[in-house]
Amino acid sequence: MLELAESVGLKPAHACKIGVCQSCSASLVQGDVFYEHSLTHSPAEQQVLLCSAKPDSDELTIELTAC
Ligand code: FES
């Protein structure tokens, strides 16, 4: 989802891109996500890691904070 956000001109914060640093954490407003790989540190409740999460519902709403 990080690449998708960047492809439409958004600039979400990120660093490691492998689910470790948590800098790409964003708020999950609606829908579900899953992670193909186990994470070293799980994101907080209702947060998703943009670099590692994959959509797992037909509709997905994520709130990005401005940097
Ligand atoms: S960029 Fe580090 S966890 Fe996503």
**What per-residue confidence (pLDDT) applies to 65?**
81
Give the angle subtended at the CA of 47 by the CAs of 15 and 51, to the nearest 5°: 35
Segments of the chain with pLDDT less than 70:
66-67
pTM of the model: 0.91
Ligand 1: nearest atom to the Cα of 15: 1
Residues with CB under 6 A from ligand 1: 14-17, 19-24, 49, 51
So what's the pLDDT on residue 58? Answer: 97
pLDDT at 67: 56
Distance (angstroms) between ligand 1 centre and the Cα of 59 equals 23
Domain ranges (residues) in the chain: 2-63
Atom of ligand 1 nearest to the CA of 16: 2
Residue 35: per-residue pLDDT: 96
Tell me which architecture the domain covering 2-63 has in CATH.
Answer: Roll (3.10)
| Ligand 1 centroid to residue 44 C-alpha, Å | 13
Chain-centre distance of CA 15, in angstroms?
12
